[in-house]
Amino acid sequence: MLLPVLFTFAWVGVGAAMYHFGNTAAQAAAQTAANAAAVEHGTARACEQAAAAFIASLDDTLSEVTITCRRTATTASATISGATLSLVPGWAPTVSQTVTVAVERIS
């Protein structure tokens, strides 16, 4: 009777860790992308390329990824959305992270 309870706690713990890992991966990808756009001559295209390269290095940590980059005169932002790994067949929890940084300017 105790063993099923222990397996359930382990299952939930591993599932939570997988969700947290996917969320952290999305945040790191958004940070990398926003930084690529924020450099002095950065572009939204550079942001998208940096995010895509970072996500590709993560293998299957995130799937169905959406990359949204914006760059204005003062800020650069990147939003990464996707589905994380799941232990439950047919269910893929989604995560979304947005990072906004100031654009570098020579003053």
E strand intervals along the chain: 62-71, 75-84, 94-102
Assigned CATH class of 2-102: alpha beta
Domain boundaries, the chain: 2-102
User: For residue range 7-50, what is the model confidence (pLDDT) as tens digits?
Assistant: 989 988 998 999 999 999 999 999 999 999 999 999 999 999 99
Q: What is the pTM of this model?
A: 0.89
pLDDT for 61-75, tens place per residue? Answer: 999 999 999 999 999
DSSP 58: T
